[in-house]
Amino acid sequence: MELLPEADATAPAELKPQTFKKEVPMTTNIMTQASIATLTEKELWHHYLPLTITQTMSFGPTVERFIPDHDLRDPGSYGLIESLSETLADDVAESDTPEETIDLWIVDLESYVNNLKLIRDTFSKLKQVSIIMPADHAIDATEDEIREWERAANAAEENPRYRPPLLGNSQEAA
């Protein structure tokens, strides 16, 4: 991971590398102090968000560039998660431990996505067993009866209607 030159130029002074040269005899004991410009994890996070990050993939010249703040606040392809992404971004921004907060969000979101997939799959099965289709035409049906059956089947596919689910005592469907 590296910072692009334009990002480095806009990086805060305390993040820019500095070189200090001073000759020190090898026998001298040196005690160093932490820089006055040390950052908390939360402060580092706020410096990280606007940077342009470049990642080079190990299997070729593929380079990925992104700005963390843009991706964090991405509303999704359809804009359906705009308020969710804003809430997540704000929650992480307010956290003293942004990495841990992101991990918690990931666990919750993965669990939620799995729930959505389960709901979608079981609903799809329910639709399959509940759709109302015209009964098959008789083997000895006339051409007019077959045409009428085809019109009814096409209408059912274009504008499907469903029976209410039959629920047992446990209220299980599909």
pLDDT lower than 70: segments of the chain: 1-36, 60, 167-174
pLDDT tens column, 33-65: 555 677 788 988 888 989 888 888 777 677 788
- Spatial distance between the Cα atoms of 98 and 173, rounded to a whole number of angstroms: 41
pLDDT at position 22 is: 44
> In sequence order, which ranges of 95-164 are alpha helices (DSSP H)?
98-130, 143-158
pLDDT at position 36 is: 64
- Spatial distance between the Cα atoms of 56 and 127, rounded to a whole number of angstroms: 46
pLDDT at position 94 is: 96
> How many angstroms separate the first and last alpha carbons of the chain?
48
pLDDT at position 34 is: 53
pLDDT at position 162 is: 87
Enter the tokens of residue 99: 């990495």
pLDDT at position 116 is: 93
pLDDT at position 132 is: 86
Q: Which residues pair with 3 in a beta bridge?
A: 53
Q: Which residues contact 165 (CB under 8 A, 6 or more apart)?
A: 126, 130, 173, 174
pLDDT at position 64 is: 82
- Spatial distance between the Cα atoms of 88 and 93, rounded to a whole number of angstroms: 9
